[in-house]
Structure 1
């Protein structure tokens, strides 16, 4: 039955114009799914990451305005921009959300790159990897920045699409009510396939690019860094992952371990139940993956050639329903992979410990409120600079989780959080103007009665 399913899936992909290499990648993952291959990384087989270069040391080596821009002149910035923000109820690219001063993620990314080009006198191509659901909106928004385009290099490369697989039969999903829902993106591990099949890697090499700096579009902390580029170029490492010190809030999620002398990314889905306690011990496994990567193009070429273009990344089995918004629809499996997992394919790969200034992802409305607040200042270099320690934000997901609800509850903008340690909101509260939170601020309403925080209110101490 499953062999028939693979044939159907490959035929469907070919008819949709999916590249042959992308189909081969899908077939490999399908085989792993069919054979139920264990992707678990056992605690007994790994050791913690301990030897880590620190960002402060890199900056100290390249202090001031006399940074040699040579390495940055050979660098391209790639932003993963396939997310729709569906967890926040969005139906367009999450990067189109306003973040600061009326500027969206895309605006700030574009201005970070343009500022770096002007400051260092470099070309610094910017490329977005979009999904079939985000490309049109993204390119329309980027028309405001015609100067971003670099001759010979497109602003966008399109992420592949693959069929969702029916969990019970391993057949590709048929969903006549909305055929678009039959397809899904294959995770950001698809980056390596897209770089080669789109011709982007060839175009970048032809333009003299030797270094790829890759990060998520929703992480505005990952600005182009001439210092890191210079350090990376001078290092022997072919691949560097930026990592962040774990806190109690980071017990879950992918973290870097050492297996057989090689750095390896271990995702939550690759942890056995019996290993959970040790894997979540932040005093043992101290660093998590920020998904900010630096890769030397020559090394990537070698790895792709070694594996005939099909990077042997671990399978992430993502179980959903055919219509993510309708839990009564068929159960499906999406075959995905993580970009950072490629670290184990590059002998000599290294990690660079960064601080939270380079890790500001917006995954929820909690994160969005924080980056919109006065905890951060948007500098003239279009970097978000923390003015205080980040408070822990916990907004009631029933009333703040979706972006339309969230926006409606902060009609006058974010409250002041610069003096807060935490803000916890339970129930349907709407915030007035000039509200501020101090210390451990709490608004607790256990019923569904609408409440308003009056203008000028101080919550907490």
Structure 2
């Protein structure tokens, strides 16, 4: 495993006076109020943290002087971009042609993958990285195992090791690294996996704009959002490594969706046949205000309006037939042309910065720990999908949510996106696969198919035929894990 480290920090330690001079123009000298009580290691740590903050940019953000966007006005002008429907309509090629082209790219070793896994399972009541959450309805495989098994199966099918670049946060990095090492990289080759850490931005007090401190010797930092993926890939040498190994396209996905069609050749084929620089997979939203980004076209450019930025009145707009006007929900599955990403590295600062009100624990002026009961701070982050308007050519691909989207976000008991619902979706999908092969299986039976057994119904039919029985002669009456 290549365990890429965060960018090398400036090892020189600024003196108190140097730090004060740096902070005074931005009214942030409160960060030094505990300096004299810190030991030399703590002073070094705080000095390095302060040195990495762009206080000029932060001041602009705090004062609200960055470019503001009227999302309501944008939504009023929005239309649906041209999309390839899940049945293959909407493009000049067939699903079979797309699959053939995608398989060619996989066999040629052109595809790399990046998994965004900085989140902890806090909302799940799980105190570890979310990727370590057990979601297999029969096997209890973790989310990380779901993805690793898919990559292993793709490697066996196409005769190539598909690399996994895994982006963590400060909160998940060490636990994730240890998990992969302890579990033999989940069957992947060690050199296939590169674990690297995303950047951070400071949280500020919502009322004063002061940067908050997590403790007397540390800033209250939070991940800079999945928009920081590109910077982190470049900073940690991953982009150079991809180029050296002949990769041309990067499959991007996030950790909370066990049904993601990782390395799906049809999706890859659509991307390539459209000569797209950035391809986005979408589903039809389940309800107007669903917490997914809204994929739209405005002034000829494809872009995504995040659910938190879209007014309810805009989300609920309908067409004359009563259908949702903005129906395409982003499920955080993208395919990037590597040339495009390298060009975007030069425009990275142009990505807008989004604000979020959050509860941020911190120390007060007396050094006492404060755990707020309501949002007290503003966090800043960038979103990877804001690269879309910069792409010279894009395509949107619809997926059936029952096949491709079962996010694990909330604890059981919530209305949506729970582990229970995700496990049910996995079983439902695999029961449909079995029935399409002619197998009899009752709705009460839990079934789970590891992609290393079969990646799709066609492969499943072949495997079932190896038993000596026809699929139509087979009945499944007890919970079963196919692996």
TM-score under structure 2 length normalisation: 0.69
- How many Å separate the matches in 1 of 2:75 and 2:289? 22
Contact 1:106 1:142 in 2 (8 A): no
Residue number among 392, 402, 405 corresponding to 1:359 in the alignment: 405
Are residues 1:340 and 2:385 paired?
A: yes
Q: Output aligned runs, 1:365-376, within 5 Å.
A: 365-366=411-412, 367-373=418-424, 375-376=425-426
Alignment gaps of 5+ in structure 1: 379-383, 389-414, 419-461
Residue 430 of structure 2 aligns with which residue?
Answer: 385
Are residues 1:132 and 2:170 paired?
A: yes
Q: Displacement of 1:59 after TM fit?
A: 3.7
Residue number among 281, 293, 298 corresponding to 2:339 in the alignment: 298
Residue 120 of structure 2 aligns with which residue?
Answer: 84
Larger Rg: 2
Are residues 1:289 and 2:330 paired?
A: yes
CA spacing shift, 1:64–1:347, aligned 2, 3 Å: closer
CA spacing shift, 1:245–1:169, aligned 2, 3 Å: same
Q: Displacement of 1:80 after TM fit?
A: 0.7
Q: Over residues 386-425 of structure 1, what are the superposed CA-to-partner deviations in whole Å (9 max), with x where a residue is unaligned?
A: 649xxxxxxxxxxxxxxxxxxxxxxxxxx9598xxxxxxx
Contact 1:92 1:133 in 2 (8 A): no
Q: Displacement of 1:252 after TM fit?
A: 4.5
CA spacing shift, 1:197–1:270, aligned 2, 3 Å: same
Q: Displacement of 1:118 after TM fit?
A: 0.8
Residue number among 237, 257, 267 corresponding to 1:219 in the alignment: 257
Q: Displacement of 1:361 after TM fit?
A: 1.2
Alignment gaps of 5+ in structure 2: 1-22, 32-42, 89-93, 363-369, 413-417, 434-442, 447-483
CA spacing shift, 1:330–1:87, aligned 2, 3 Å: closer
Contact 1:88 1:364 in 2 (8 A): yes
- How many Å separate the matches in 2 of 1:19 and 1:72? 43
Q: Displacement of 1:198 after TM fit?
A: 1.4
- Structure with bigger strand share is 1
CA spacing shift, 1:172–1:216, aligned 2, 3 Å: same
Residue 228 of structure 1 aligns with which residue?
Answer: 267
Residue 142 of structure 1 aligns with which residue?
Answer: 180
CA spacing shift, 1:64–1:257, aligned 2, 3 Å: closer
Q: Displacement of 1:174 after TM fit?
A: 1.9
- How many Å separate the matches in 1 of 2:108 and 2:283? 23
- How many Å separate the matches in 2 of 1:185 and 1:225? 29
Q: Displacement of 1:347 after TM fit?
A: 2.3
- How many Å separate the matches in 2 of 1:13 and 1:3? 22
Residue 320 of structure 1 aligns with which residue?
Answer: 358
Contact 1:43 1:279 in 2 (8 A): no
Contact 2:295 2:302 in 1 (8 A): yes
Residue 434 of structure 1 aligns with which residue?
Answer: none
CA spacing shift, 1:204–1:13, aligned 2, 3 Å: farther
- How many Å separate the matches in 2 of 1:231 and 1:107? 27
Q: Output aligned runs, 1:167-206, within 5 Å.
A: 167-176=206-215, 182-206=220-244
Q: Displacement of 1:209 after TM fit?
A: 1.0
Q: How many pairs were matched up? A: 378
- How many Å separate the matches in 1 of 2:330 and 2:107? 24
Q: Displacement of 1:137 after TM fit?
A: 1.5
Are residues 1:268 and 2:307 paired?
A: yes
Of 289-298 and 66-75, more deviation after overlay is shown by 66-75
Aligned-partner SS, 2:324: coil
Contact 2:295 2:330 in 1 (8 A): yes
TM-score under structure 1 length normalisation: 0.72
Q: Over residues 65-94 of structure 1, what are the superposed CA-to-partner deviations in whole Å (9 max), with x where a residue is unaligned?
A: 994354662111111100002122332101
- How many Å separate the matches in 2 of 1:134 and 1:176? 19
CA spacing shift, 1:330–1:123, aligned 2, 3 Å: closer
